[in-house]
Chains A and B, each alone.
Chain A
Amino acid sequence: MEVYLDNNATSPISEKVAEAIKDSFAYYANPSSVHSLGIRVRNFMDDARNKVALALGVSKEEIIFTSGGTESDNLAILGSLKKTSKKHIVTSLVEHHAVLNLFKQLEKEGYEVTYLPVDKDGIVDLDSLSDCLRPDTALVSIMYANNETGAIQPIEKAVQIVKNMSEKIIFHTDAVQAFGKLPLSLRSIPIDMASVSAHKINGPKGVGALYVRKGLKIMPLFRGGHHEYGMRPGTENIMGIAGFGAASDEAVENLSSSIEKYTFLKKRLWEGIYKTIPRVLLNGGLDKTLPNTLNVSFTNIEGESIIIMLDLEGIAVSSGSACTSGSLESSHVLSAMGVPAAAAQGSIRFSFGRYNTEEEVDYVLEKLPPIVSRLRAMSPLEK
């Protein structure tokens, strides 16, 4: 049995998306061309742009296509900072590396950075946000939902706090994980920019978008032509954009049923784990997290060992352990939440997607307990 529970890492391409990509092959001309073949491609592309915009609750003139979430984050942050001389910027300790490592770089370059702490469930502390804002604060970037724990941030309240301080402070959110898993209506909150990515919602890799509120001008990262309202030069990735449009369409169509299904599967998995495996910790709680994300620590054993053992049974998951992060430190997210190092090392993230079933959850619940027992029998921490 093959059970893919790593949908926060990436997700399989849906049939409709594959079809849309295939259809795009016929639209070969350059969308910037004046001739009718070019116009045809431009219209095809704008149709996809409209679908992405609808999914975010904004208008299509506010959508800039990029190469993915990382580029969108970089474009939003660097592109707006280049328009101001203010030097104080704010983010949280639990951001994705696409944001966090950019802030660390900006800190080296002379920006003053405030990293907002989180509580034990991984929720950003809003008092710290109110307290840190200053006349020279240029930008605040807080993720909509966390990729590791699924923790949903109080974005609306955070935006209110920032905009009450000053309308001029730019508010950006990395909404990559929230997209397709939570109802989003970005127009209804005075948010300035939001990053999203296609491959997390059953779309293709290598394409994403940045929502830029109407009227806001940012500097492009690259120099080139006037594509994407002058904010992202380069001939557009029509194939990827077509797939992204179809994926956004499906995400909207399936949103309520997806949320219902994920909530059911997540509850079933957690209750099964809790009943059959002693000494497990739920990282991030059940309710304040994305319906598709379950992060559990199995005490006294290490995440990579669990991943490999599950992999041998055909189950794909991920971990916040040091060994799986490619560094010697375990998850910065769990550490910011105060999860002890040993528990963070034994953390496993299960993330559901459109094609997961109840039978798959039951299969995991059958395979997981003996794996944990086996690894615990080998652990010197089990006394």
Chain B
Amino acid sequence: MNKIANKQVINDVLLAESATDKDIVVLCSDSRGSAGMKSYAEQRPEQFVEMGIAEQNLVSVAAGLASCGKKPFAVSPASFLSTRSMEQAKVDVAYSNTNVKLIGISGGVSYGALGMTHHSATDIATMGSMPNMRVYLPSDRFQTEALIKSVLKDDKPAYIRIGRNAVEDVYEEGHVPFALDKATVVREGTDVTIIACGELVGDAKAAAEELAQKGISTRVLDMYCVKPIDKEAVIQAAKETKLIVTVEEHTMYGGMGSMVAQITAANAPVKVVNLTLPDAPVVTGKSREIFKYYGLDAEGIVKTVTEQL
């Protein structure tokens, strides 16, 4: 079991890159501990800005820094960053088109039993609806590393959501296929396509392995690039497989599954089933318990595919 959380990888990449790139700045909202940014904060005090529990100002200040050539990473719980700071993200980042990378930590239902105040099950909808804003949900530590290194090279806004805890590796060290804004084909298949993002890619991969044993050939797309979504990969899947099942840690409206359905409906109609969190506060529990309850884990995905195919 991998013990390195995706957030730790972000800390490590930024710590390494900031040794030579003095324009990198990390901002936290009393969140350096939960963000896994403690070692960065300690070793780069001159490139770290503590904003206190003030997420609106966190984003405005990051935008001001960016307008002066800095490369700010505003790292704050996804729940607050994607809704409390939504207007600042809209006006100061997306609309002003500033080079701010919004890092939503402990995303989705990572905070489990802390309840809906701490869940960010609407962040794809809120952030993805803004012009200029890109939305990324990397799946494992290797992809997170590739993604952060990639977005460091551009000067456009992005929202990146990661979970709280370490997740199983989807890829292997030294073998991490990655092209920015292109879905990663985790597994080829001809009967059904599972399109997943974030922490649930691992479940999609496990489900595909189980489905293979039942004789169902399953393609798995890691749609970490929720926006801009890889439209070509979706259309290709719609044309080449009989069913698409989307899996995401997000509410049923305005998420990755909605985007997939929008693309297939217009370009290559195929049955699309969205596995999502409900349009309701989720039940109490840890992430894995919540995923299982709503059928988002490997077992639930297998069940849905066999029923729907």
Q: Do A and B share a complex?
A: no
B residues near A (Cβ < 8 Å) are none
A residues near B (Cβ < 8 Å) are none
